[in-house]
Amino acid sequence: MIITFIRAIFLYIIVLIVMRLMGKREIGQLQPFELAISIMIADLASIPMADSGIPITNGIIPILGLLVMHLIISVINIKSIRAREIICGKPSILIYRGKIDEKVLKKERFTINELQERLRGNNVVNIGDVEYAILETNGQVTVIQKPNKRTTTPEDFDIMPEYEGIPYDLVVDGKIMYDNLKIIEKNYEWLKKQVEKFGFKPEQALIVTLDGKGRIFCQKKES
């Protein structure tokens, strides 16, 4: 029992490392070849995990082989557009200039109901408001609304909004983010002074952030 537990932990660490090496996109939107490799990695890891009689290397070596294969395919995708189209496919236009392309729907095995569901997922309720709907290679649907239905922006009114920048977490669950303090060229004493204005110490904070305009958001932990 203990050996099985240790093997499971070890394989989990190996799979976690491999997935991190494969890149952040593996956690989010997968291309077909990435999904296939991810499924195979999970399957290979489960074999020695379930049967302690199988050498653990029987799972690790194929997983490392898949990692190498993934890296090779990724490089090929970057270098060759043609290879990228063969491996990942090409985007398909489901709605073109406001008209649903039935041939493309049938080719992609998309129903009208599924199309409407994807549009609602993009905050589009009326299919008549859509100028283009594009089925991306990762299965996501990109929606471009008709000009008169798009959300207005400050640029439409010749307004130049102030620069906001990126907010930095300075304290998360009582832990001081020293790397972020270094980026904004501040130190702990400055942070302590700012947080004490809210009536407590940085170590007691649930979250402390600093936005691009110098505004601080601070909330104390309940316990």
Whether 40 and 103 map to the same domain: the answer is no
Contact predicate 104/89, CB 8 Å:
no
| Nearest of 79, 72, 69, 82 to residue 38 by alpha carbon | 69
Q: How many domains does the chain have?
A: 3
Q: pLDDT tens for the chain, 223 residues: list them.
A: 576 667 667 777 777 677 666 655 544 466 667 777 777 887 877 777 777 777 878 778 888 888 888 888 888 888 888 888 887 788 999 999 999 999 999 988 888 888 999 999 999 989 999 999 999 887 889 999 998 887 877 777 788 877 777 889 999 999 999 999 999 999 999 999 999 999 999 999 999 999 888 889 999 988 6
d(CA 155, CA 100): 31
d(CA 127, CA 108): 19
Q: Which amino acid would we find at residue 116?
A: Q
Contact predicate 14/60, CB 8 Å:
yes
Print the domain residue range for 73. Answer: 2-86
| Nearest of 165, 173, 218 to residue 194 by alpha carbon | 218
- Residue that is last in its domain, among 43, 66, 86: 86
Q: Which amino acid would we find at residue 59?
A: G
210 found inside a domain: yes
Q: For residue 94, which phi and psi values (nearest 5 degrees)?
A: -80, -35
Stated as kind and residue range, the H or E segment containing 30 is none
Whether 58 and 75 map to the same domain: the answer is yes
160 found inside a domain: no
Q: What is the CATH number of the domain that holds 145?
A: 3.30.240.20
- Residue that is last in its domain, among 86, 103, 123: 86
| Nearest of 133, 138, 110 to residue 121 by alpha carbon | 133
Rounded to whole angstroms, the maximal C-alpha distance in the chain is 71
115 found inside a domain: yes
Whether 18 and 72 map to the same domain: the answer is yes
* 176: its two tokens: 């001081």
154 found inside a domain: no
Whether 13 and 79 map to the same domain: the answer is yes
| Nearest of 135, 86, 129 to residue 109 by alpha carbon | 135
